[in-house]
A and B are shown apart, each in its own frame.
Chain A
Amino acid sequence: MSEPTQAASATAPGPHAPALLRLSSVTKVYPGTTALRNVDFALHAGAVNVLVGENGAGKSTMMKIIAGIERPTQGEILLDGRAVQLHSTDEARKLGIGIVHQELNLFPNLTITENLFLGRELTGTGPAIDMAEQRRQASALLHALEHALDPDTLVGDLRIGQQQIVEIARALAQDARILILDEPTSALSAPEVEILFRVIRDLRARGVGIVYISHRLEELVRIGDFITVLRDGSITGSAEMTQVDVAWIVRQMVGASTRDFARAADHQWGDTVLKAQGIRLGRPGAPGFLVDGVDLAVRRGEIVGIYGLMGAGRTELLECIFGCHPDRARGSLCLDGRELLGADVATCIAAGLAMIPEDRKADGLIPTLSIGANLTLSSLLRLCRGAFLSLVREREAIDRSVSALAIKARDPAHDIGSLSGGNQQKVVIGRALMTGPKVLLMDEPSRGIDISAKSDVFKVMRDLSATGIGIVFVTSDLDEVMALSDRIVVMSNGRITAEFGPGEATQDAIVAASAAGHNLLP
């Protein structure tokens, strides 16, 4: 730090600052993917330890291991130099480890006080909860966070930013020695961020080891003492914040070595196939727009990459195009000369759209159906002979799909759950392709799959675009968007904030555009 505060200088972070907690050669393997590879990480007391990396780099997995939610496949956790086993969040909490998750884990039907003390209610001598004492402590906590909210307010009635404060208060209420903040500012306004930073500095002065995860690089540079960069499950850089700059961080995040994304083959694009104009989607039950007047045109054979932070409205834009909100979406949407806005999903598919949803498990797979039935679900009418489903034609279509996408399945009649993440993703893609789309919408197509499956998926995308299919894909991965896209569109707060043609984009410009308009809204 160039200007260490008085309090912080007492435990001035330096190369020899005490490591409160260490991860030693930690590896975590999930079915289908390796999330962390041989990671060594030191968490310093009385310092803000920044953790940064792209989506899927392994930050969340690492934090889950520290917070006792997940257990490492290999390696050990050392707390104060002693190896500990964290079997549950409860054990981690008793050792003074608190976590504020990116997605809020609050109970909207309970009050602030009840949320703060859930699972560790204060009881006096009897079985009854000591309401008055809980309320007093809750009030004091909120006061410390400079949010004088009534502790009896239902959490569901709070704004998202206020809910975030409650979530932070909950972690603080447990006297954490280690506090993990996963994207704590993603829903906060600028003044709220300042308050949070004051709280963080105060905690640091008290010797709390803070892990701070964020995508917003400017923030990290301001608040961090140590920085650790993760990429593809490995630590690629670790340094004191004073010795690095934003350019260094980006370099470590993205890597100098190009992954096997090879630029799209040079081919001519056709005419405009999809033209969206003034697409708007209101926030349900609140003023403002999730998608705010987006214009987007896609040509045959073109790959358009949409980059943006979480909550930028990228997924919602794809949903609007795909007919998921026929009643609420506004604007105009033209596919091959046909107006599609207001049509439902089935009509959109019939007209030549297809979508690969972001959350494969929740929105993509049918766990009770076989691999084959998952593949043909969108194209059953095409595989009928009269009213019958022709099992022969279905089998042919499945075999074609399996070999075209190199799906590693021993038997398409097996459960879909028997496939690895990457192959499951290929099944979802295969289902979309079987409908013969003109435009393919892909939401985070490489999420949660390993490197080799990723390059398979990217190869499929390139091959498809060469056959004249227009592709719109959404990603939070800078490298991916730069390598794969013919054109890059950056979204922030529901709007398009920048657009780059082939060869025009730089990483800095994209990152800057993705942050445009943030922290300005209340």
Chain B
Amino acid sequence: MTATPATSTDRLASLGRARAVLLLLHLRTFIALFLVTGYFAISAPNFISADNAMIMSKHVALNAFLAIGMTYVIVSGGIDLSVGSIVGLAGMVAGDLILHGVRIGDYIIWFNVPAVIAITLALGVSIGALNGLLITRLNVAPFIATLGTLYIARGTALLMSDGATFPNLEGDAAHGTTGFPAVGAMNLAGIPLTIWLLLAVAAGTAWLGARTPLGRHIYAIGGNERAAILSGVKVRRVKMFVYMLSGMCGAIVGLIISSQLVAAHPMTGETFELNAIAAAVLGGTSMSGGRGRIGGTIIGAFVIGILSDGLVMMGVSSFWQTVIKGVVIITAVVVDQFQQRVQQRMALLQRVAA
């Protein structure tokens, strides 16, 4: 290196600039959250109130669950289009078990609510496992595999009731199936159970990503699958896990929605997968894999949720809302590309400075 003092100061200055820009970029979802919240606080009456915050949180939570599962799928380099359909199917299965039980010959077996929840979650995990098997064993591209299960799960949900809704999921005391509506309606210490559950799932998955070998392996696979294989990462198992986790998140949402509505409709959750992907991407998850955090995804889900609820409160037409959502997502991805370029330049500057 024949660096003159002038060029090395230049380099330090540009390194400093790059650092500042990078910090802003890292915090961009936060900044977006502040901007939307601030904007609606001023322009939408009653936007800032405890009641409204609670209602919005419940809305956001549903998308956030799906987005959490989606984040690790995308970080591992895949995509899961089937979660929306899993939401629908899970609700239908839960509803069916509560209303009709399981008929074996002349007998009907009834399950209590915890058992119904366990079976429904297991169903979500199994569909995730099916996705995982298709992808890891039969080498089906994730987009296609989960597109297939999207249709299969949705079709199955419709078949279960011939397209009809399962109403009145209060259950029957005689069969011991009561209590299902409480899942979505119950409050603990003044905060809905759904929110507590979201906090638990978010904390658990964030911990998993940051502090366990499995989490590190998910990031490694998304960064460079071949290198991960050669480093002894059991890629198939890790991929199975992320799709099973995503399936379980779908089932959780299916349970919460059908419990809140006290009814299960087979078309519930349609296009939810797209909202989940949007939240993850908005939160900084890179579609090419290897990058993304649960914290970012949650904030992303809040930005989307607050944006749509705020626009509703301001009386903006839902058609416009859809357009705005699209613009926000594209902007997020463009900014993400920009961030990666800055990061690469930063890496080179660090190399020169080292």
Contact = CB atoms under 8 A, between A and B. Distances in A.
Interface of A: 31-32, 322, 324, 344-346, 348-350, 355, 357, 362-369, 373, 376-378, 380-381, 384, 387-389, 391, 408-410, 414-415, 417-420, 431, 435
Contacts of A391: 211
Contacts of A378: 231-232
Main secondary structure of the interface of A (DSSP, over half): mixed
A380 B228 CA distance: 13
Contact of A384 (B213, B289, B290, B348): B213
B354 interface: yes
B212 to A, nearest CB: 6
Contacts of B231: 345, 349, 377-378, 431
Given A345-B229, A410-B350, A419-B351, A366 B212 contact: no
Report the 10 A-B pairs with minimum CB-CB distance, sorted nearest first. Answer: A368-B290, A368-B223, A380-B213, A366-B223, A349-B232, A418-B350, A417-B347, A418-B347, A346-B232, A415-B347
A349 B347 CA distance: 31
A414 B346 CA distance: 10
Given A31-B351, A377-B216, A369 B230 contact: no
22 contacts: A324-B229, A349-B231, A355-B230, A357-B227, A357-B230, A366-B220, A368-B219, A368-B222, A373-B220, A377-B217, A377-B228, A377-B231, A380-B217, A381-B213, A414-B347, A415-B346, A415-B350, A417-B348, A418-B350, A418-B354, A419-B354, A431-B231
> Interface extent on B, as a size class?
20 to 34
A294 to B, nearest CB: 20
Interface in B118-136: none
A302 B304 CA distance: 61
A366 B354 contact: no
A346 B236 CA distance: 12
- Chain B interface helix/strand/loop/mixed: helix
B226 interface: yes
Given A365-B224, A366-B224, A409-B354, A373 B230 contact: no
A349 B228 CA distance: 12
B100 interface: no
Interface string B229-264: 111111000000000000000000000000000000
Given A31-B348, A415-B343, A346 B212 contact: no
Contacts of A31: 348, 351
A378 B213 CA distance: 10
Given A368-B222, A414-B350, A363 B227 contact: yes
A366 B227 contact: yes
B49 interface: no
Interface in B311-341: none
A364 B353 CA distance: 24
Contacts of A367: 223-224, 290
Contacts of B289: 368
Contact of B291 (A345, A363, A368, A388): A368
B139 interface: no
A284 to B, nearest CB: 14
Given A363-B226, A377-B220, A378-B232, A388 B211 contact: yes
A345 B224 contact: no
Nearest to B237: A346
A391 B289 CA distance: 24
Contacts of B353: 410
Nearest to A416: B347
Nearest to A319: B230
Interface in B271-300: 286, 289-291
Nearest to A381: B213
A364 B223 contact: no
A389 B230 contact: no
Contacts of A435: 232
A365 B344 contact: no
A384 to B, nearest CB: 6
A346 B230 CA distance: 8
Contacts of A369: 216, 219-220, 223, 290
Nearest to B354: A410
Contacts of B232: 345-346, 348-350, 378, 435
A380 B351 contact: no
